[in-house]
Structure 1
Amino acid sequence: MRTWLTERFGLTVPLVSAPMAGVSAGRLAAAVSAAGALGMIGVSSATPASWIEAEAAVAARGGRPYGIGLMAWALPGNPGQFEAVLAARPPLVSVSFGPYQRYVEELRQAGVTVVTQAGTTDEARAAEQAGVDAVVARGSEAGGHGRAEVGTLPLLQSVLDAVRIPVLAAGGIATARGLAAVLAAGAEGAWVGTAFMGCAETALSGPAAARVLAATETDTAYGRVFDVAQRLDWPAEYGGRALRNTFFDRWAGREAELAADEEAAELIAAARRDGDFDTACVYAGEAVGMVRERRTAADVVAGFAEAATLLGRFAPPGG
């Protein structure tokens, strides 16, 4: 399975573990990279530069390529994050969700491969014009934040026709079958988050991980409830897909009211501290129903490597 992604970073599996804030720190990134894919560190809006420095050192310790994901809308208010990433010089940096264009050239001049996530074909075209090295076609099935306007498969087909830079596929890809499908379509690899949420190396708490393992494919919901409740300044066009819970169901469709309810804000803050996930959120994608047991990152990557067998069914005789 040789693609632009495997050749660029010396991988054996064309796979990136998505930068999930609160889930993927240095330990998970290092484990994914050691297994032959490319692991990433997820950075939240409030993450201090010192944390990035420490986790980047963990991810880099094994000598394998890794990446860091930043949220463009948060960087003006926390410029130390970008400075820390520049100092770490990871092989791959993702800057998405907001005015990312201003950071592209400086990263590239530092020798970093730059990608951004796109939820529409127009966003992918804009990414190409901004000079990124590759674009992630992120469908509405994906967990965490992003657009929910187009599913992965139609988006991937459209983006592949619209741009000339390498394209990675994200959203709903959790097994070798999903990886084989997007590679066959023309993607250079898959960008996968939820499939790694059951890994022993994640930063998820025990109660949050238990919720993930117990969830089914219909247990996620998309919206801005959790962002509004936590007073996070995510741009309105980027909602989040998370495990549905009592708090979400209570407030869905009442976001304006929620924005003025300080008691609800205090409630969700306390729930995060206490590990109460009937109220606090766990971001996850529609593929969560296929995450059924605790596994190592190496086991997950090995499972994705079986895509080669699936794609081999179409090889010519003797090929």
Structure 2
Amino acid sequence: MRTWLTERFGVTVPLVGAPMAGVGAGRLAAAVSAAGALGMIGVPPAAGGSWIAEQAEIAGAGGRPYGIGLMAWVLRDGTDQLGAVLDARPALVSVSFGPYAEYVEPLRAAGITVVTQAGTTREAIDAERAGVDAVVARGGEGGGHGRADVATLPLLQGVLDAVRIPVLAAGGLAGARGLAAVLAAGAAGGWAGTAFMACEESELPEGAVGRLLAAGEDATAYGRVFDVAQRLDWPVEYGGRALRNAYFDRWAGREDELAADERAQAELADARKAGDYDTAYIYTGAGVGLIRERLPAASVVAGFAEAEGLLRRFC
């Protein structure tokens, strides 16, 4: 399977392990890259430059290319995250969710490939104009934060028709069939997070892994409940997809009340510390129902690699 992604980074599987803050750090990124795909570090909003440097050293220890994912709305507040990423010089940086355009040229000038995630065709067109090297067409099925305006397949078709730069497809890709589908449509590769959440190398707590593996295909919900409860400054257009739980159901549609409720804020914070996932969140995508085992990242990448055989068989 030869695409822009495999040629650019010397990987054997046209797949990126999506950056997942709080789940995918240096160890998972290194394992994904060692298996032949491109692993990424997800940088949490509160992470400092020293954390990035530490995780980048782990991710790059094996000599394979890796990437780092940044949130644009965090960078605007004067954090040292960008400087740390420039110092680390990963092969790929994703900077998304907010005013990202000003960071494209400094990253590219450092020899780093830059992508951004787009949830609409208009966002993809804007990304091409901003000078990114490739765009991630991220459909509403994707886990964690992003738009839910358009599903992955119609979004991918629209973006492929609208831009000339390479397009990666994200949202609902849980294995070989999903990867084969987007490659057949013309994507340069897949962008998958949920498939790696239960990996042995992930940072996800044991209790959350159990919930993840038990979840069905209809187990997720999309909204801003958990961001509002934490008083996080996420742009309102980027909600989050997570496992539905009692806390989400109680507050969905009542976000204005939640924003003023200090008890509810404390309840969520306490639940996160205690590992109470009836209240605490587990961000994950619509493909969660296809994840049934805790595997090493190498096994997950090998599963995705079977897309080549599917393409030969059906295309």
TM-score by length of 2: 0.99
Q: Which sections of structure 1, spanning at least 5 residues, go unmatched?
A: none
In the alignment, what sits opposite 1:200?
200
- Residue 227 of structure 1 aligns with an amino acid whose one-letter code is D
Whether the 8 Å contact between 2:32 and 2:298 is mirrored in structure 1 is yes
Q: Tell me how far apart the structure 2 counterparts of residues 249 and 78 of structure 1 sit (CA, whole Å).
A: 35
Pairs within 5 Å for 1:166-245: 166-245=166-245
Q: Which sections of structure 2, spanning at least 5 residues, go unmatched?
A: none
After superposition, what is the alpha-carbon deviation per residue over 1:107-131, rounded to whole angstroms, capped at 9, x for unaligned?
0000000000000000000000000
- Residue 206 of structure 1 aligns with an amino acid whose one-letter code is E
Q: Tell me how far apart the structure 2 counterparts of residues 228 and 207 of structure 1 sit (CA, whole Å).
A: 24
Whether the 8 Å contact between 2:135 and 2:167 is mirrored in structure 1 is yes
In the alignment, what sits opposite 1:20?
20
Query: Alpha-carbon deviation of 1:141?
Result: 0.3
Whether the 8 Å contact between 1:45 and 1:78 is mirrored in structure 2 is no
- Residue 50 of structure 1 aligns with an amino acid whose one-letter code is S
- Residue 293 of structure 2 aligns with an amino acid whose one-letter code is E
Structure 1 SS opposite 2:280: coil
After superposition, what is the alpha-carbon deviation per residue over 1:47-101, rounded to whole angstroms, capped at 9, x for unaligned?
1111100000000000000000000001122420011000000000000000000
Q: Tell me how far apart the structure 2 counterparts of residues 62 and 261 of structure 1 sit (CA, whole Å).
A: 47
In the alignment, what sits opposite 1:11?
11
In the alignment, what sits opposite 1:303?
303
Q: Tell me how far apart the structure 2 counterparts of residues 83 and 20 of structure 1 sit (CA, whole Å).
A: 20
In the alignment, what sits opposite 1:79?
79
Q: Tell me how far apart the structure 2 counterparts of residues 277 and 49 of structure 1 sit (CA, whole Å).
A: 30
Structure 2 SS opposite 1:51: helix
| Runs of 4+ in structure 1 over 6 Å off | none
Q: Tell me how far apart the structure 2 counterparts of residues 235 and 86 of structure 1 sit (CA, whole Å).
A: 25
Q: Aligned residues, how many?
A: 315
Q: Tell me how far apart the structure 1 counterparts of residues 30 and 42 of structure 2 sit (CA, whole Å).
A: 13
In the alignment, what sits opposite 2:144?
144
In the alignment, what sits opposite 1:55?
55
TM-score by length of 1: 0.98
Pairs within 5 Å for 1:82-97: 82-97=82-97
Q: Tell me how far apart the structure 2 counterparts of residues 130 and 243 of structure 1 sit (CA, whole Å).
A: 34
After superposition, what is the alpha-carbon deviation per residue over 1:152-211, rounded to whole angstroms, capped at 9, x for unaligned?
000000000000000000000001000000000000000000000110000011111111
Q: Tell me how far apart the structure 2 counterparts of residues 147 and 112 of structure 1 sit (CA, whole Å).
A: 26
- Percent identity between matched residues is 73
- Residue 280 of structure 1 aligns with an amino acid whose one-letter code is A
Structure 1 SS opposite 2:76: helix
Structure 1 SS opposite 2:140: coil
Structure 2 SS opposite 1:313: helix
Whether the 8 Å contact between 2:33 and 2:65 is mirrored in structure 1 is yes
- Residue 202 of structure 1 aligns with an amino acid whose one-letter code is S
In the alignment, what sits opposite 1:117?
117
Whether the 8 Å contact between 2:48 and 2:79 is mirrored in structure 1 is no
